[in-house]
C-alpha cells in the first residue's frame, strides 16, 4: 500500500551470531534500552557511556557485564563495537549518529532523528555513504496493536481511510528543551504516515505555552493528504487525563487503538453512516457492535531491539529506517513552522 516497509514478524528469535553493541546515554529512556539490549539473544552490550556520574553508577549496578564510561568516544572509537544505540537528548541525536556512521557502525537512535530536516538528510547521506544502516526509535510502530491495526487497514477491513484522530496527553513529563509537538507527536506522526501510506500535502498547528515562554505545552495539528484523508493530532503534557489513543475512520468500518486499555487495546467497530446509492439521500447511522482484535502481549521495545539486531546481523528489512524518519521530520518541521507563523504550511513539492 506504500513505499513504507510492511510491519509484522518483528519479535522473532533472531539467528546465529552476535552483535557487539555500545550505548550512549542512560537518562530517561536509556535504562530501558540498555536493559532490553543486554537481555537479547544475539546481542552483547559491551560498553555504555554517560556524562553523569550518578547515572554511570546506576548503570554499573544494573548492567554487571557492561563496561560503563564517561566519554562517548570510548564507544565510537572501539573497533569491536559494531552497532551503537543513541539515547541522549534530542539535540545530540544527529551529531552522534554522524560520528557513529563515520566510524563504520550501525545506529539505533531515539526519536526524533534530528531537530531539522537538513540534519536528518545529512544523517541519511552518511548512512548511504558508509553502507551502515540507521534505525530510528519510532517505538509505537512496534506495538502489537499498531501492527494489527496496520494489517487491518492493509487488508481493507476498514475500507478507505477517511480520518485519523490521535490523542497523546497527560499531566507531565514537562520539558523545557522541546515542546509537546517535538517531544510527544513523533509517535503519532510515524503511525499516521504508516497507516495512510501517503506523503502529506499540508500541515497546520496551533499551540499554547503556559509554563515556559516559547515552549508549547499543548499542540493541536491537522495533517492533510492529497487523497482527501485527514489526520488530527493532540499532544499535551498539561492535561488532567492520560490518553494514548488512535482512532481510524474508514469508509466501511472504524477502529480504535487505546493503549490505556489493559486488555482490549484494539477494536474494530462496525459503525458508520450509510447513504445508500444516492449521496444526497438521507443518512442512516449504523452501529452493529465491535470486535476485539487479539494482538498478543509482546513488548514493543523488545521488538524494536530485536529488529535492530537482526538488521545488523542478517540484513533483514529495516522497519524504521532513515527514509521514514525523514518523512516524519518533514511533518514535524512543517508543524513547527505553522506554530510560529500561524499559517498552514504546504508540503507540495518538498
Task: Map out the domains of the chain with their CATH numbers.
Answer: 19-140+300-321 (3.40.50.720), 141-297+331-346 (3.30.360.10)
62: left (phi over 0), alpha (psi -120 to 50) or beta: alpha
Contact 50, 67 (CB under 8 A): no
For residues 237 and 171, the answer to whether their CB atoms sit within 8 Å is yes
Q: Which residue has the higher pLDDT, 272 or 207?
A: 207
C-alpha span between 111 and 301 (Å, rounded): 13
Report which of 25, 20, 104, 18 is spatially closest to residue 69, judged by C-alpha positions.
25
Q: Is the pLDDT of residue 8 over 50?
A: no
- For the ranges 17-21, 104-108, 284-288, which has the lowest average pLDDT? 284-288
- Condensed to tens digits (0 to 9), the pLDDT of residues 201-238 reads 999 999 999 999 999 999 999 999 999 999 999 999 99
Q: Which are the contacts of 250, defined by CB distance < 8 A and separation ≥ 6?
A: 153, 157, 158, 159, 160, 161, 162, 272
178 — pLDDT class (breaks 50, 70, 90) = very high
- Mean predicted confidence (pLDDT) in 252-263: 96
Distance of CA 244 to the CA centre of its chain: 14
Q: How confident is the model at residue 272 (pLDDT cuts 50, 70, 90)?
A: confident
Residue with cell 502489537: 144
| 247: β partners | 165, 256
Q: Model-level pTM greater than 0.75?
A: yes
pLDDT greater than 60 at residue 16: no
- List all residues 6 or more positions away from 284 whose beta carbon is below 8 Å from its beta carbon: 273, 274, 275, 276
Dist CA 157 CA 148 (whole Å) = 11
- 186-196 vs 322-341: helix axis angle to the nearest 10? 120
pLDDT confidence of residue 15: 42
- Express each pLDDT in 86-121 by its tens digit: 999 999 999 999 999 999 999 999 999 999 999 999
114-147 per-position pLDDT tens digit = 999 999 999 999 999 999 999 999 999 999 999 9
CA end-to-end span of the chain, whole Å? 21
| pLDDT(244) > 50 | yes
Amino acid at each position: 500500500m506504500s513505499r513504507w516497509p510492511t510491519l509484522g514478524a518483528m519479535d522473532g528469535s533472531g539467528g546465529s551470531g552476535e552483535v557487539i553493541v555500545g550505548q550512549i546515554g542512560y537518562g530517561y529512556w536509556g535504562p530501558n534500552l540498555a536493559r532490553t539490549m543486554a537481555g537479547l539473544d544475539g546481542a552483547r552490550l559491551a560498553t555504555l557511556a554517560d556524562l553523569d556520574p550518578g547515572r554511570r553508577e546506576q548503570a554499573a549496578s544494573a548492567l554487571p557485564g557492561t563496561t560503563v564510561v564517561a566519554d562517548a568516544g570510548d564507544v565510537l572509537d572501539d573497533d569491536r563495537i559494531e552497532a551503537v544505540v543513541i539515547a541522549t537528548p534530542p539535540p545530540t541525536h544527529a551529531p552522534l549518529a554522524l560520528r557513529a556512521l563515520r566510524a563504520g557502525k550501525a545506529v539505533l537512535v531515539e526519536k526524533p532523528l534530528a531537530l531539522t530536516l537538513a540534519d536528518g538528510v545529512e544523517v541519511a547521506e552518511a548512512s548511504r555513504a558508509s553502507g551502515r544502516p540507521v534505525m530510528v526509535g519510532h517505538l509505537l510502530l512496534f506495538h502489537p496493536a499498531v501492527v494489527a491495526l496496520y494489517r487491518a487497514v492493509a487488508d481493507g477491513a476498514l475500507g478507505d481511510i477517511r480520518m485519523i484522530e490521535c490523542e497523546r496527553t497527560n499531566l507531565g513529563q514537562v520539558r523545557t528543551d522541546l515542546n509537546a509537538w517535538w517531544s510527544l507527536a513523533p509517535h503519532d506522526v510515524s503511525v499516521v504516515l504508516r497507516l495512510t501510506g501517503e506523503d502529506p500535502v499540508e500541515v497546520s498547528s496551533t499551540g499554547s505555552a503556559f509554563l515556559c515562554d516559547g515552549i508549547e505545552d499543548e499542540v493541536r495539528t491537522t495533517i492533510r493528504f492529497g487523497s482527501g484523508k485527514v489526520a488530527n493530532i493532540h499532544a499535551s503534557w498539561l492535561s488532567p487525563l492520560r490518553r494514548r489513543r488512535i482512532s481510524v475512520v474508514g469508509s466501511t468500518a472504524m477502529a480504535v487503538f487505546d493503549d490505556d486499555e489493559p486488555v482490549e487495546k484494539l477494536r474494530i467497530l462496525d459503525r458508520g453512516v450509510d447513504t445508500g446509492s444516492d449521496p444526497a439521500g438521507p443518512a442512516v447511522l449504523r452501529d452493529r457492535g465491535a470486535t476485539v482484535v487479539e494482538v498478543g502481549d509482546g513488548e514493543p521495545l523488545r521488538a524494536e531491539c530485536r529488529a535492530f539486531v537482526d538488521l545488523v546481523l542478517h540484513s533483514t528489512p529495516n522497519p524504521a529506517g532513515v527514509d521514514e524518519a525523514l518523512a516524519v521530520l518533514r511533518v514535524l518541521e512543517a508543524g513547527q513552522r505553522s506554530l510560529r507563523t500561524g499559517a498552514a504550511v504546504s508540503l507540495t513539492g518538498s
